[in-house]
Structure 1
Amino acid sequence: MKNFANLIKALDSSNKTTVKVDALTEYFKNVSPEDKVWTIAILSHRRPPRPVNTTLLRLWANELANIPMWLFEESYHIVGDLAETIALIIPTTKEHSDKSLTQYLQEIIALKKKTDDEKRAYLHENWLALNYYERFVFTKLITGSFRIGVSQKLMTRALSKAENVDEDALAYKLMGNWDPNKITFQELILDEKSSDYLSKPYPFYLAYPIEGEVSNLGNPEDWSVEHKWDGIRSQTIIRENEIFIWSRGEELVTDKYPEFHSFVGIIPNGTVIDAEILAFPNDEIGTFNDLQTRIGRKTTSAALLKSNPVILKAYDLLEWESNDIRNLPFEERHNLLEKLFESIKDKNLPFYLSERKILNSWVDVATERMRAREMKSEGLMIKHKNSTYQVGRKKGDWWKWKLEPLVIDAVLTYAMRGSGRRSNLFTDYTFALWQNNEKGERELVTFAKAYSGLTDVEFRKVDDFIKKNTIDKFGPVRSVTPELVFEIGFEGIALSKRHKSGVATRFPRILRWRLDKKIEDANCIDDLKAMII
């Protein structure tokens, strides 16, 4: 644990990529194979389930610190992170622990089945046996919310340097549904096993946002244009008469979309398709809000399948006739995908092609982009016709050109403290719009939350206003005198019964502080609903 805690401290103390890669490389060269596996798992979001709920964690930490609960809660709201608060309030002793990261994680897994008394005793013993930063990391592992500023790509680069294994090969090895408690480092990284191949997806290739003028890309005839669909990016794998569906987050979601099981026996074995899963109610592309009714469900009822079916909108072909074709030019891969679609389009499958647009000028591309909301897309994907299918986010060959956000002027009504470096400031805001109530009187109705878009100076000014204009407190939430107006941007909007406003916005964020407007000038809910296509 000591080595892992020192690694996390090093990673957390720098924003430089080279420093992070060097720290990870040195760590991987010096720790045990078992700790390597668990470190890879933690940094690729394969953490063990949380064995203790946060209410008990707070209670038991408070007992050990021997302070009033109100003081713990106030400290928590100021610090903004539970693990850090616990690490700070528990006194450091002369005790120390030589247990490895692997041993701690195995104990944490076993802890889930223990009684509350056993859990309490275990936490007290180990909190007191660790120094501040070790205690912080240990508690992060307990909470299951371990996040650090290292991407899987960065971790893979360091592992490649430490083990002298090709980086792209490593990215492929780390995909899929492996269990860090059951696999060895030799099996995960060093061995080549054909049995692992059956369900394994490829690393996804990601696009960069367009920078500057789109015409800077050169000759438009060198590029392929298609719509950027707003669903769940996925890979559909058909091998040996079995189907496997992976989300971009490396979650195996085959059972959540039974519509796609009909592909087996019709789409040839040895096929891997890069596609978007889209809601398709009433035989037309739905909103992401529609798709959310299918996300996270443990079981999918017949009624839900009928009312909110899904389709696969295919972008690319990564494997064909059991051959990895990612190194073929995009145009060749898409031609094969088109031939596949033509061969099965009469089979009544929930399989659709993301069509390429033949556009001769950047003006035509810009015009097509303006049709995005009509097409139920987020904008355009622009791919070089000769591009190979690469790993991760690489600049140059694939670009996304999203629509400008929808905008509305809204009033700040509630606020919470931020997290991390903003934990001492109120930076998480709730916004409201005007609506006439049953008496015909105008009132503010909340519709969205946002916590990004302002400068540090602006956040401090808003924080100062909130502290001076708090109407009421509800735990960590403050009700604020409605006085400040902000321009809020968002990607999409849909009707929703789950929200008091009757609408749900997608990716809301602050665009600017409207110092030139009074709250009477803010928009109303009807203005928001009028944006729904």
Structure 2
Amino acid sequence: MKQFAALYDAIDATTATSEKVAALVAYFRIANPADAAWAVSFLVGRRPKRLVKAPDLRLWAAEAADIPAWLFEESYAQAGDLAEAISLLVPEPAATTDESLAWWVEQRLLPLATMEPIEQRTALRAAWSELGGTARFLFNKLITGGFRVGVAEGLVVRALSQASGVPVDTIAHRLMGQWEPSGAWYEQLVHAHTSDADWSKPYPFFLAYPLEAAPESLGEVRDWQCEWKWDGIRCQLVRRNGRTMLWSRGEELLAGRFPEVEAVAEWLPDGTVLDGEMLAWRDGQPLPFSELQRRINRKTVGKALLADVPCHMLVYDCLEVRGNDIRSEPLRARRTQAEHIVGALPSGGSMGLSPIVDARTWADVTEARDAARERQSEGLMLKRLESPYGVGRKVGDWWKWKVNPMTVDAVLVYAQAGHGRRAGLYTDYTFAIWDGTTLVPFAKAYSGLTDAEIRDVDRFVRANTLEKFGPVRTVKPELVFELAFEGIQRSTRHKSGLAVRFPRMARWRKDKPAAEADTVETVRALLPA
């Protein structure tokens, strides 16, 4: 555990990518396989869910710190992070143990999930009496399900490659899909033999960068393939050994959730892997993402939901043909393979090709982007025709050019303190729009302001609080902000009758009084026809 804590401190102490990778490489070279396995799991984001109820955790921490519950709550509010508050308030132990990360996870952490509350209390008090400093902080983070560290998965993959000598693409592929951390698993992960991929695994997804320059900066339009950017679930369909596996980009196995697509996949040749987008679909058109969410959250889908929200996979790319990995071939060749494979499927099924936008000039591309919302699309994808299918996000070959966001001017009405580095500052905001003479809550937003603006809003909140409801402050309705968002739909769950996707603050409208903020009627005009 102390080695893992030292690694966390080393990563946390620098912003330099090379230094983060060096720290990871050094750790993987000395850690035993079981420790390294759990470290990889946590570093790539596969942390356990919350194992202990937060109210119980706060109560037991207050007892261990020998302070009143109210004082712990006030301290927690100031720290903004439960794991940190516990680490700071519970006295350091007289001596600490030298048990490994794997021991702490397997013997102390995971058993908490099946314990009764009284057993959890005893186990936690014992753990806090044996762990100190960063090790205790990390243990607390894992208990709360809030473990994060400042490294992207790509850096972890690079470090594993450098430590083991196994190619980066091989490490990335081995990390895909479902696996359980163990010493044996880690030894296989870094083994020199490179032709051992599990038949069910997808390939690492290739991702696009946002296009911020003019499209003309990409060169000749004839060198690019232009596609619609759909608002669904990016997925890979793996057809091997007579079985079908559907994987989301988040490496979740979607077995049974899209049976209409799995049924069509039965017609695919064995040894086929397709990359595409899962969409809620009716009458040849995508439905709003909110409809797809009704399917995502169901592990089994009844007949009524299948009929109400039919789904369809639009194929972008072909990654494997007859068991041969063709990712290194240019996009134009892979697209031809996808056309042959999908074109041979029975008509009327729940799978098709994502259409290519016919654009012979950059002006045509721009015109298509401007019309994207009419096709229920988020914008365009621009892919170099000679590009291989890479791993992760790489600059140069694939770009996403989204439509400009919708915007609304709304009034700040509620504020709540943030967490982590924003602890102690009011950074989580609720905004309202006018419904006649009444302001009705419309959206919440947390991002978009500079640090200086956050401090200014924080001072306003403290000086203009009207009411307090726990951590929430009602403020004078004076500040107006322009909110940007990607989509809008009707909602019975929101007082305004509207719900938006990915709201964020585009700018502080210091030039506009609250009375001139948008109304429910003007915002409804943004709803798709």
What does residue 74 of structure 2 align with?
A: 74
Q: CA deviation at 1:261?
A: 1.9
Alignment of 1:36-435 (within 5 A): 36-107=36-107, 108-181=109-182, 183-190=184-191, 192=193, 196-281=197-282, 283-346=284-347, 348-435=348-435
Secondary structure of 1:379's aligned partner:
strand
User: Post-superposition shift, 1:187?
Assistant: 2.5
Say whether 1:19 aligns with 2:19. Answer: yes
Q: Any conservation in 1 of the 2:281–2:312 contact (CA below 8 Å)?
A: yes
Name which of structure 1's ranges 185-194 and 207-216 shifts more when overlaid on structure 2.
185-194
Residue 475 of structure 1, aligned match among 462, 470, 477: 470
CA displacement, residues 187-240 of structure 1 (integer Å, 9 cap, x when unaligned): 333175977532110000011111321111011111110011011111011112
Decide whether aligned partners of structure 1 residues 293 and 265 sit closer, same or farther in structure 2, where only a CA change above 3 A counts: closer
SS in 2 for 1:387: coil
**TM-score, normalising length from structure 2?**
0.97
SS of match in other structure, 1:95 = coil
Instruction: Decide whether the 8 Å contact of 1:224 with 1:358 is kept in 2.
Output: no
CA contact (8 A) 2:246 2:253 kept: yes
**Shift, 1:47, TM fit:** 2.5
SS at match of 2:188: helix
1:283-326 CA-to-partner distances (Å, cap 9, x unmatched) read 53111111111222233222111111111011111111111010
Q: Secondary structure at the match of 1:236?
A: strand
The answer to whether the 8 Å contact 1:279/1:311 transfers is yes
Displacement of 1:72 in angstroms is 1.3
| Match status 1:529 vs 2:524 | yes
Aligned length: 527
1:439 match:
none
Q: Distance in 1 between matches of 2:183 and 2:351?
A: 36
Decide whether the 8 Å contact of 2:50 with 2:144 is kept in 1: yes
Greater alpha carbon shift after TM alignment, 256-265 vs 84-93 = 256-265
Q: Deviations over 1:484-508 (max 9, x none)?
A: 0000000111112222222211110
Match of 1:455 in 2: 450
Question: Given residue 515 of structure 1, which amino acid in structure 2 is its aligned partner?
Answer: K
SS in 2 for 1:6: helix
Q: What's the CA shift for 1:50?
A: 3.2
Deviation at 1:181, TM superposition (A): 4.6
Identical pairs, percent: 47
User: What's the CA shift string for 1:17-74, capped at 9, x where partnerless?
Assistant: 1111111111111111111111111112222343311111111111101112112112
Which amino acid is the alignment partner of residue 373 of structure 1? R
Task: Name the amino acid aligned to 1:455.
Answer: T
1:131-185 deviations in whole A, cap 9, x for unaligned? 2211110111112221112111110111111111111110001111001158532
Structure 1: which 5+ residue stretches go unaligned? 437-441
Could you tell me how far apart the structure 2 residues matched to 1:457 and 1:228 are?
A: 35
CA–CA separation in structure 2 for the residues paired with 1:14 and 1:264: 47
Mean Cα deviation higher: 211-220 or 41-50: 41-50
Distance 1:495 1:261, change over 3 A: same
How far, CA to CA, are the matches of 2:496 and 2:309 in structure 1? Answer: 23
Taking structure 1 as reference, are residues 338 and 22 closer, same or farther at Cα in structure 2, changes over 3 Å only? same
| Partner amino acid, structure 1, of 2:429 | Y
Alpha-carbon distance change, 194 to 258 in structure 1, aligned in 2, over 3 angstroms: farther
Evaluate the alpha carbon distance shift between residue 475 and residue 298 of structure 1 in structure 2; reply closer, same or farther with a 3 A threshold: farther
User: Larger deviation: 38-47 or 225-234?
Assistant: 38-47
- Classify the secondary structure of the residue corresponding to 1:357: coil
Q: How far apart, CA to CA, are the structure 1 residues paired with 2:263 and 2:299? A: 20
Contact 2:33–2:184, Cα closer than 8 Å, also in 1? no
How far residue 4 of structure 1 moved from its aligned partner, in angstroms, is: 0.6
Contact 2:93 2:128 in 1 (8 A): no
Residues 260 and 350, structure 1, Cα contact 8 Å, conserved in 2: yes
- SS of 1:489's equivalent in the other structure is strand
Alignment of 1:428-443 (within 5 A): 428-436=428-436, 442-443=437-438
Residue aligning to 2:498? 503
C-alpha offsets along residues 340-390 of structure 1, whole Å, 9 cap, x if unaligned?
2221152x2111211112311111100000111001111100000000000
Shift of 1:115: 2.4
**d(CA) in 2 for partners of 1:532, 1:8:** 46
Identify if the C-alpha distance between structure 1 residues 160 and 181 changes in structure 2 by more than 3 Å, giving closer, same or farther.
Answer: closer
Residue 393 of structure 1: CA displacement? 0.4
* 3-state SS, counterpart of residue 67 of structure 2: coil
Q: Residue type matched to 1:417 in 2?
A: A
Secondary structure of 1:112's partner?
Answer: helix
Give 1:467 deviation, angstroms: 0.5
Query: Which letter does structure 1 place at the counterpart of 2:269?
Result: P
Instruction: Give distance in 1, aligned partners of 2:116 and 2:184.
Output: 28
In 2, Cα distance between equivalents of 1:47 and 1:140: 10
Q: Within 2, Cα distance between the matches of 1:275 and 1:188?
A: 27
Are the aligned partners of 2:408 and 2:483 in contact in 1 as well (CA < 8 Å)? yes
1:97-144, CA deviations, whole angstroms, 9 ceiling, x for partnerless residues?
Answer: 111100011021122222222211111111122122111101111122
Code of the aligned partner of 2:418: G
RMSD: 1.5
After superposition, the Cα gap between the structure-2 partners of 1:502 and 1:50, relative to the gap in structure 1 and judged at 3 Å, is same
Q: Which runs of 4+ in 1 moved over 6 A?
A: none
Offset, 1:282: 5.3
Distance change in 2, residues 1:408/1:345 (3 Å): farther
Give the partner amino acid of 1:280: W
Using the TM superposition, give the Cα deviation of residue 522 of structure 1 relative to its aligned residue in structure 2, in angstroms.
0.3
Cα-to-partner distance string for 1:69-102 (whole Å, 9 max, x where unaligned):
1121122122111111111111112120111100
Supply the AA of the counterpart residue of 1:171: A
